[in-house]
Amino acid sequence: MSKRKSELIPTHTTSRNPLESPWALGEEEFVRRRNSELIPSYRRAREETLSLTEDVVNVEKKIDERVKGLYGL
């Protein structure tokens, strides 16, 4: 699996459980909290979360551009 590095890192979450924030949890920390057998699942969740986060950021940018256009900002 190819590793992607993104500058889009969500900085705020309402969860206090790091396992619910895979983008903020390194593999070593994950293994410490769970076990190494789950690393493939962790990697998939991290990749999917990153992909969804990038999609959300792009949609938010498009919305901001449209709002600026509507209000002449």
Q: Transcribe 7-52 into DSSP letters.
A: S------S---GGG-GGG--HHHHHHHS-GGGHHHHHHHHHHHHHH
Supply the pLDDT for residue 1.
46
Supply the pLDDT for residue 70.
94
Supply the pLDDT for residue 60.
92
Supply the pLDDT for residue 54.
85
Output DSSP code: residue 60: H
pLDDT in tens, the chain (73 residues): 445 555 545 545 555 666 666 667 788 888 888 888 989 998 898 888 888 888 888 999 999 999 999 998 8
Alpha carbons within 13 angstroms on the beta-carbon side of residue 4 total: 15
The rounded distance, in Å, linking the Cα atoms of 4 and 13 is 21
Supply the pLDDT for residue 47.
87
